[in-house]
Structure 1
């Protein structure tokens, strides 16, 4: 069911986006991407090199998506122009190779929950990019961002001591800036009008860049297939089907059809999902600080959504 879910999205960007489709895609990004932090941690703990593991994730998802689109609409649907290819390559490298790749590298020492909390800075970077571009977001949007970021801070303070190394944290911060930059400028890069084709080529270019980065990092010499246990393969399969085919396709759809401030609210919800899954799967203790932080995050999301809805109206 999950593998066929992306096909339910519109066949092309030319069809007007409905509120129901936007909110469905946003819900997928909220929930599924919150779970991928746990999946990535399981992958790297299973001794799968981070860049090669994520390259396998996105290139496999791209191959499956290409096959599905071709069977449904024919190979002609996959044709894109040189400008569209350049735009997809730019976004794919920024979001996937530098953004998601940084998360995978960092989670070798950074706990998955803390990684999700650090990624919560993306809406703040998006706001700074908007201001740098001459825009003046509504005061309510600013308030929602600050409150949401405050909720993420509360969650971080409740985390206690971690095994995170400063360099890993720095890599993750740089990755969030790259992701925010790619998300901000994606609508201006002349991407394919079909959001599924856009996602396909971004995964191709991003995954290829990950392979090159992994080779430079010497990861092929650290790859031992016989040492990877079943949990590692299952986590990688989950990331391919749900994290890439489903959620990344939904995210590409949102970039083409929804306000960037509304899209960025997923970074507030993902940490709450990550904390909840940590409690359910890893038996992590939930404190009142975690519950309070989650409530504050939801309030921040509500404010941003309200401000953007008024702006569109």
Structure 2
């Protein structure tokens, strides 16, 4: 009984990190066509953070943390959410959702290079192959004339790259930082503080705020999906899987998310899937596979502790 219920939970958690995370690109793209990007991201994460705090209280989980932990969650919230996600949402005004997901699938490559540059960690031979394939895949992806001639696309691609640097540095920071031991509480603080910073960014850029009551029904549904499923459920599933299965299995979401995003973007928004994009995806994801070998993952795990 215990084993079968655990197996069912693992399957559901994988569905969450494969399909739900893959669909957030489409959901953000739909919402950003109507709402200002930083306001959208701020509303999503502040609401998710508040809901997590309420859930934690109902479950009897203490949400009190030290000043140092609060400061560290603010830094992590900025690196992952305020800049790392907020600017991606902004870039989706100019870049197709599937294209953005493909570019972001090179994240393990960025983390590996940052570990080499900032911490002097030697890159494993298998990972060197992965890096080379990753660079080729990214080049094939971003060099398509029919894509880069669209207005704002190049700027969008460059800003997504900076978001990946922010996520990569955030990953290295979090691995060493003093953070709340309960990951649910940790997530709540990162989302809430990240959402507040996004609100400040939104006001700084002069975005026009609006009440959820005046949004179209489609965007209201999208926001509910982003808050409950994209933020709370998928992230909780991710943390559950890290404790329940091997890290290389969890890392497979890196290959599945962009495929889900490409298919959903093509089906719902008529986004173009070019032959070169398919080739780029194959080369890039093969590179990510080489980076996510057991030896490389052992390094990542060492940093997490």
* TM-score, reference length from structure 2: 0.80
My pick for the range that moved more, 251-260 or 231-240, is: 251-260
Q: What displacement does 1:224 show?
A: 7.0
Aligned to 1:78, what secondary structure does the other structure show?
A: coil
Contact residue 49 and residue 191 of structure 2 kept, 8 A = yes
My pick for the range that moved more, 30-39 or 285-294, is: 285-294
CA 1:256 to 1:128, structure 2 compared with 1: closer, same or farther past 3 Å? Answer: farther
Alignment partner, residue 234 of structure 1: 221
CA 1:104 to 1:310, structure 2 compared with 1: closer, same or farther past 3 Å? Answer: closer
Contact residue 57 and residue 236 of structure 1 kept, 8 A = yes
Deviations 1:68-104 (A, max 9, x none): 22111x2x52111111111111100111000101111
CA distance in 2, matches of 1:167, 1:289: 20
Q: What displacement does 1:140 show?
A: 0.9
Query: Which one of 146, 160, 184 corresponds to residue 172 of structure 2?
Result: 184
Alignment partner, residue 71 of structure 1: 58
Deviations 1:239-271 (A, max 9, x none): 111211122344566889999998777555432
CA distance in 2, matches of 1:180, 1:257: 24
Q: What displacement does 1:205 show?
A: 0.9
CA 1:100 to 1:252, structure 2 compared with 1: closer, same or farther past 3 Å? Answer: farther
CA 1:269 to 1:157, structure 2 compared with 1: closer, same or farther past 3 Å? Answer: farther
Alignment partner, residue 300 of structure 1: 287
Alignment partner, residue 248 of structure 1: 235
In the alignment, structure 2 segments of 5+ residues that lack a partner are: none
Contact residue 183 and residue 239 of structure 2 kept, 8 A = yes
Q: What displacement does 1:287 show?
A: 5.2
Query: Which one of 161, 164, 182 corresponds to residue 173 of structure 1?
Result: 161
Aligned to 2:84, what secondary structure does the other structure show?
A: helix
Asked if residue 215 in structure 1 is aligned to residue 171 in structure 2, the reply is no
Contact residue 83 and residue 166 of structure 2 kept, 8 A = yes
CA distance in 1, matches of 2:242, 2:171: 7
Alignment partner, residue 269 of structure 2: 282
Instruction: Provide the aligned length of Structure 1 versus Structure 2.
Output: 292
Query: Which one of 73, 92, 95 corresponds to residue 80 of structure 2?
Result: 95
* TM-score, reference length from structure 1: 0.78
